[in-house]
Structure 1
Amino acid sequence: MRLLIFLTTLLINQSLFAQVSIGVKANNKQYLSYEPIRVTVTISNQTGSPLTLRNTGGNNWVEFVVRNQSGRVINKVKNISYKGTTIPTAERINSSFVLNNSYDLAQPGNYSVYAVVRTPQQGHSEGTRSAATYFTVNRGVPSWRTKVGVPGVAGDEREYRILNYSGSGTPQIYVQVEDIKRGHILATYSLGRILSYRKALKAIDRSNNLHVLFLTTPELYCHTVVNTSGKTTKRNYYKGVGNTHPTLFTHNDGGVSVTNAKFYDPAKEMEEKTKYHKLSEMPEGYEQ
């Protein structure tokens, strides 16, 4: 009787295994050390009924196996239980995960990762496995850095770094913020595309926020403000005025603003363009 129950359960799990298909894909092929490494897991439900995925009995419904270029499995540094989900019948969902929330992937090199998805009926050694996806981690080289204190927190210090990187083929400007006291990288991320023939400008305001102004298209400059926690608090775009180029100006009170520029509002610019009729829209008999 027990054997019959075991075989029945095995057949159900094998059947369910065949009716759930998953895939995993790295959002980028190239990353900088400490940059969030995001992967997207795609799960298709062909079981004929809604599929609920949740953590049960100490088993996570989704787990990842990460290997370095030598094939060694990278151990978790932090265990994260992801929120469960329900997939309607015959539908597919995409879920995004940040691998370095659980794994230390700061070491440069090539990596592979595959995902394992388990239903509530499956144990730790069971589940549906995806094919592997691959990505590379590169060490960035700072082109500029400066240290500042943290307002209101005695003894805390941050280092802002600017890195330029073209791993994806398009030159990007990155910001990195480190907690010097604790030796912890708080943030590493791209501020956007940069046209390198014009040097990015940097300034620190009275609250020790970092201001970065860089050329992102032949006409547009991006002004981004990053605080001591590594969060972007402001991002605006500007165009130059006449033959001048936008620049950062530090006021006597410690404030920082963009000068020699006009604020760019794409919606307003489009509205202005629609005020002028094209020649093809002119009424018959009218000549210019």
Structure 2
Amino acid sequence: MRYLTPLFFFLLALTAQAQFQVGLTLPRTNYMVLEAIPASVTITNRSGADVVLGGPGRAVWMSFEMTDSSGRPLAPIEVSGVELVQIPAGGTIQKKITVTDAYSPTEIGNYGLTARVAHTPSGQFYASARVRFNITDNKPMWEQAFGVPEGYKGAGEARRYAVILFTDMDNTSLYFRLIDDKTKLRLQTYRLGPISMAHDPQITLDRENKLHALFLAQPHIYAHCIVAPDGSLKKRSYYREQNGDRPQMALNGKGEAEIHGGEYFDPTKPPVAPKSPGGRKVSEKPPGLE
């Protein structure tokens, strides 16, 4: 019997380890201070039975642990468990969570992130491998103070727009940041898009204190981003250079930002098929010819 007892606990441990297999990935390693960090969590059900997670009135079943460079745990990050999720036996689901909605590190440094999933029937928690990421920052290439207009939260207060270049490995991106101009508190940071510095970006404010940025996103393609005084991205559109006619931005007499040159480009539309050279096909008879 004394030999069976250790074997029993060993099998029990294997059973506990086999309920869920949890994976965690981040799209990249380096992020700007206050930038949203989207995490992708995969959960494979190894319990041998269908499992239902979450639902109204149920306990939180997914959480994250973030640690600093010394391994010290930071604020716990819990994900709402209201949504009902069912995983069939042997099945896998994927959840995309913006972990910085609950806690966003503001100190530059190296951090670790682990996803934890609760197996409700057994009460056990299963964790992913720890993923490392870096929080960094850079000085603005352009900034402008402004007053928040009526109709926006914080109307009358002083804010500051900042536009930042950030190079991650081999890619360079243009970032937007909103700052409280009095307290210097960073309110928002997000990526406007990839940028090539073959041509300098054009940045200006219109008469409504909206920020406009026109920049080369890829060869011959320019992105035009409009940001409202509350920091929200109102519009992102694209223009294509045509035969050396490069898109340019300027304010008109009414203080409105306009794009001149090039042509409007919708990247979501399929390319137009080129017309076949030559005359009509045999089946395409000229009008009046029978």
TM-score higher than 0.5: yes
Q: TM-score, normalised by structure 1?
A: 0.82
Aligned partners of 2:182, 2:53: CA distance in 1, in Å?
41
**Kindly tell me: are residues 119 and 147 of structure 1, through their superposed partners in 2, closer, same or farther at Cα, counting changes over 3 Å?**
same
1:129 to 123, 127, 130: 127
DSSP-derived class of the 1:145 partner:
strand
Partner residue in 1 for 2:164: 163
Any conservation in 2 of the 1:17–1:127 contact (CA below 8 Å)? no
Aligned partners of 1:158, 1:13: CA distance in 2, in Å?
56
DSSP-derived class of the 2:225 partner:
strand
Aligned partners of 1:269, 1:245: CA distance in 2, in Å?
22
Aligned partners of 1:138, 1:115: CA distance in 2, in Å?
23
- State the identity %: 28
1:117 Cα deviation after fit: 0.5
Q: What CA deviation, in whole Å up to 9, does each residue of 1:195-222 have, x standing for no partner?
A: 1121110011122111100011221111
Q: Which moved more, 1:181-190 or 1:24-33?
A: 181-190
Q: What CA deviation, in whole Å up to 9, does each residue of 1:58-109 have, x standing for no partner?
A: 8521111111111111124x76534442223322111112222222412111
The root-mean-square deviation of aligned C-alpha atoms, in Å, is 2.9
Partner residue in 2 for 1:276: 276
1:163 Cα deviation after fit: 0.6
**Kindly tell me: are residues 15 and 274 of structure 1, through their superposed partners in 2, closer, same or farther at Cα, counting changes over 3 Å?**
same
Q: How many residues align?
A: 267
Any conservation in 2 of the 1:146–1:161 contact (CA below 8 Å)? yes
| Structure 2 gap segments, 5+ residues each | 1-7, 283-290
Partner residue in 1 for 2:287: none
Any conservation in 2 of the 1:52–1:119 contact (CA below 8 Å)? no
**Kindly tell me: are residues 267 and 71 of structure 1, through their superposed partners in 2, closer, same or farther at Cα, counting changes over 3 Å?**
closer
**Kindly tell me: are residues 157 and 67 of structure 1, through their superposed partners in 2, closer, same or farther at Cα, counting changes over 3 Å?**
same
Any conservation in 2 of the 1:55–1:61 contact (CA below 8 Å)? no
- The answer to whether residue 24 in structure 2 is matched with residue 24 in structure 1 is yes
Any conservation in 1 of the 2:174–2:195 contact (CA below 8 Å)? yes
Q: Which moved more, 1:99-108 or 1:140-149?
A: 99-108
Flag the structure with higher helix content: 1
DSSP-derived class of the 1:127 partner:
strand
Any conservation in 1 of the 2:173–2:192 contact (CA below 8 Å)? yes
Aligned partners of 2:30, 2:131: CA distance in 1, in Å?
12
Q: Which residue type is aligned with residue 264 of structure 1?
A: F
Partner residue in 1 for 2:46: 46
Q: Which moved more, 1:180-189 or 1:249-258?
A: 180-189
Partner residue in 1 for 2:199: 198
1:142 Cα deviation after fit: 0.9
Aligned partners of 2:133, 2:171: CA distance in 1, in Å?
17
Partner residue in 1 for 2:80: 81
Q: What CA deviation, in whole Å up to 9, does each residue of 1:163-207 have, x standing for no partner?
A: 101124201111112244675534312111111121110011122
Any conservation in 2 of the 1:215–1:222 contact (CA below 8 Å)? yes
User: 1:1-288 counterparts in 2 under 5 A?
Assistant: 15=15, 17-54=17-54, 59-76=59-76, 80-84=79-83, 85-123=85-123, 126-152=124-150, 154-180=155-181, 184-266=185-267, 270-271=271-272, 273-277=273-277
